[in-house]
Structure 1
Amino acid sequence: MPSPPGGFEVPLWRSLAVFRFASLAYVCLLMVRDAGRYAHPVAAGGVLLAMLAWSGMTAVWYARPENRRWPLLLADLGVVLAILAATPWVVGRAALAAGVPTLAVVWLAGPVLAWAVSGGRRRGAVAALLLGGADLATRGRIGPSSLTGVILLLLAGVIVGHVARLAVTAEERLQRAVELEAATRERERLARGIHDSVLQVLALVQRRGAHLDGEAGELARLAGEQEAALRALIAGVESAPAPDPAGGTLDLRALLGRYASPAVQVSAPATPVPLPAAVARELVAATAAALDNVGRHADGRAWVLVEDEGETVTVSVRDAGPGIPDGRLAEAARQGRLGLAQSIRGRITDLGGEVRIDSAPGAGTEIEMVVPRRSR
């Protein structure tokens, strides 16, 4: 994958260009020293000029990220293989057998390093094995020094490839960190603006209408809920998690967290409370009905407690309102007011659970809903 301009790989490509010219200078010194032993010394000069020209072209082409692809990589490898193939004719078999170096010498490591920087350890190792094998094939004899050169070539491909991949990984992580920081700053900027306008208005509506009856009280309750939801949104808290596709579960803790507000305190375990999606939705709906009763018949303040007991999950809704007088629930049922009977008890019963109500006049009300983890 090509690195963007200014990326961490750019110094590696520049170092590769420097290596080509530095190694070419060493090749030039060896040619001057051994020219008298070559079978065709004039041809050796032509090969040297070709190597110089190719070093300049690759320095320019590899500088552009869009060029660091297979056509150029294969051409780079092919040029070195061609020079190695011409070595027995230019230098001569007798000279090679006597220990005269091949024409490319260390310059042949250029494609190995290019492959390693562009593709990592494996690609560098493949190029090293190809060129190392070709270098051994051109020699009249294979000795310890020639084998050492191939091993060093292989190590260079692996090590440089590893360093290149580390550079790419570091660059990707840095980019993600920069994007996250930018997103965080934008969220904080929006949060400040929302806090200074929308949230304050919603909080004012909730406070002024908390003790009113009728539609005004309902509007105040809705304003409080929207304030809590908006605070969760700008804080980066997920208000309505999607079902887990693997098991079709929902986190009850996150679902009930939507109802947290200055008037409603939600206490839940520190870890998620997964439930089947259908069970979680029904339990949340029953909890919402209980909180609606608190808003209608008490002062709107409530405490919600979530307990994960393994096979069962318990949600308790407690308020400090006037309580439920004896016989009031039965009277409400006879009058057709089935909020508690249907919205709460009916839902929990359908899930195979039970509802316990603890209330007394002047002592508030606690509704405890216990459901099995798997509905029957």
Structure 2
Amino acid sequence: MSRAATAAGAADRGRGSALEFALDRGVDTYRVLSWLYAVVMVWHRLGDFHRPLVALAVVLVLGLWTVFVLLLRRRTWPLLAVELALACAGILLTRVADSPENIAAGATTLPATWAASPVMGCAVLGGWRGGLAAALVVGAADILEVGAPTEGTVYNLVLLLLIGGCLGWCVDVARRGQRALDEAMRVRAEIAERDRLARSIHDGVLQNLAFIHRRGQQLGGPSADLADLAAESERELRDLVQGRRGAGQGRSATLGAGAGTPESSAPASPAAGAAGAAAVGTGDADLGRLLAASGSARVSVAAPAQPVLLEAGRAQELALAVRAALDNVTKHAGPDAKAWVLIEDLGTDVTVTVRDDGVGCTPQRLAEAKDAGRLGVSQSICGRVADLGGTANVRSTPGRGTTVVLTVPLVAPPQREERP
């Protein structure tokens, strides 16, 4: 078992323990209040008892047990079995402490409502089955205490069955909901990790394979075989990172290599690779300085006079998204296309606009590229910005260029668990 799987299992057990702990604390509150009620009832009827010392001893033992259970964090079946035995013993000792006349008249047992405490505890630990089983045991003790069941005895038994069954059923539903939530969060984490790996692969391996394919076709001869092999490897790798292994078996090698698509690849630039290596840095970084390195004769970068500071890792990720947009300009906008990068500090957000005057494309073409496994826009740009808590807007018109607007909060938004 991997470390990740072990950590996930420990987290699941921790969440399950937290749920049981919260429910047990609710039962603890009931146990204390019901014991106080039993004390009041015994004190009020102390003169009517045949053996008052027995009644006081029972209440004292139940009180000591209540304090003992409060000091424990977890409940176990042996612990609940002892508590169930104490409740039944207190009920049966009512025949010893009270007079036969009072018992025949339906007087309250010594534990009174405290006898429902082990029923509720078994319901929390064992679900509706545990709750019903404990209710039947306490009900049997009630019947033995009075000898012949009375209307009050039947009423108490029905009430115990309802408490144990309903509470246990609610606990079972809560546990199923918790498991469903844990599974949804696990799947969400796997998707996020797959998307992160997809971006890394797109920025490096896939671009290199596409470059080998294109150059091999240009050289011809024996290099064409190497180009076909690179195209096939690129297609299989794209399917793998998208989680659809084998889905593209019917596509041609040329389509797999992405020739002519809006996101065909080329080798990753050294600048992009250096930025990726520094993406895990600490402290703050000036986004303007990071993007200034992308300026050239065909790319103009405009930044505010004041530094635009972001946490270093977030700044590097945003810079990589901008460089991915500029790579698309280089590959698809045309040989004479120019690009402009505008950085705006909006106080709480930072917006980076990448605009070019190239050939552009239709929105349908971008959707087709994503379906074909092209990861440039969907992962390297939109995916990165989404992970930063921002938004990416890509607008392109044939013959009028493309505009990419990236908006990211200056401060990372707080992480929260999404309910499925």
Q: Which bin holds the TM-score, normalised by the shorter protein?
A: 0.5 to 0.7
CA deviation after TM superposition for structure 1 residue 11, in Å: 1.9
Larger Rg: 1
Counterparts of 1:124 and 1:237 in 2: how far apart (Å)? 46
CA deviation after TM superposition for structure 1 residue 114, in Å: 0.9
Partner of 1:117, secondary structure, is: helix
Amino acid at match of 2:233: Q
CA RMSD of aligned residues (A): 2.2
Q: Which one of 29, 37, 41 corresponds to residue 30 of structure 1?
A: 41
Partner of 2:231, secondary structure, is: helix
Instruction: Decide whether the 8 Å contact of 1:97 with 1:139 is kept in 2.
Output: yes
Q: 1:81 to 1:3 in 2, by over 3 A?
A: farther
Question: What are the within-5 Å matches in structure 2 for residues 114-263 of structure 1?
Answer: 114-239=121-246, 254=247, 256=249, 262=255
Counterparts of 2:253 and 2:21 in 1: how far apart (Å)? 51
Counterparts of 1:233 and 1:37 in 2: how far apart (Å)? 81
Instruction: Decide whether the 8 Å contact of 2:94 with 2:110 is kept in 1.
Output: yes
Partner of 1:256, secondary structure, is: coil
Structure 1: which 4+ aligned runs deviate by more than 4 Å?
257-261
Q: 1:261 to 1:175 in 2, by over 3 A?
A: farther
CA deviation after TM superposition for structure 1 residue 85, in Å: 2.3
Which whole-Å deviations, capped at 9, do the CAs of 1:189-212 have from their partners, x for residues lacking one? 111111111111111111222254
Counterparts of 1:202 and 1:11 in 2: how far apart (Å)? 55
Structure 2 equivalent of residue 91 of structure 1: 98
Instruction: Decide whether the 8 Å contact of 1:116 with 1:157 is kept in 2.
Output: yes
Question: What are the within-5 Å matches in structure 2 for residues 50-69 of structure 1?
Answer: 50-61=61-72, 63-64=73-74, 68-69=75-76
Partner of 1:4, secondary structure, is: helix
Amino acid at match of 1:185: A
Counterparts of 2:34 and 2:254 in 1: how far apart (Å)? 71
Which whole-Å deviations, capped at 9, do the CAs of 1:217-262 have from their partners, x for residues lacking one? 01110111111111111111123xxxxxxxxxxxxxx483586662
Q: 1:80 to 1:258 in 2, by over 3 A?
A: farther
Give the aligned length. 246
User: Scaled by the length of structure 2, what TM-score is found?
Assistant: 0.55
Counterparts of 2:244 and 2:113 in 1: how far apart (Å)? 58
Q: Which one of 20, 23, 28 corresponds to residue 31 of structure 2?
A: 20
CA deviation after TM superposition for structure 1 residue 26, in Å: 1.2
User: Scaled by the length of structure 1, what TM-score is found?
Assistant: 0.61
CA deviation after TM superposition for structure 1 residue 263, in Å: 5.1
Instruction: Decide whether the 8 Å contact of 2:92 with 2:145 is kept in 1.
Output: yes
Amino acid at match of 1:208: R
Amino acid at match of 2:37: Y
Instruction: Decide whether the 8 Å contact of 1:209 with 1:220 is kept in 2.
Output: yes
Q: Structure 2: state its 5+ residue gaps.
A: 1-11, 259-420
Instruction: Decide whether the 8 Å contact of 2:115 with 2:138 is kept in 1.
Output: yes
Amino acid at match of 2:162: L
Q: Does 1:45 align with 2:56?
A: yes
105-114 or 211-220: bigger deviation: 211-220
Q: Does 1:4 align with 2:11?
A: no
Instruction: Decide whether the 8 Å contact of 1:113 with 1:156 is kept in 2.
Output: yes
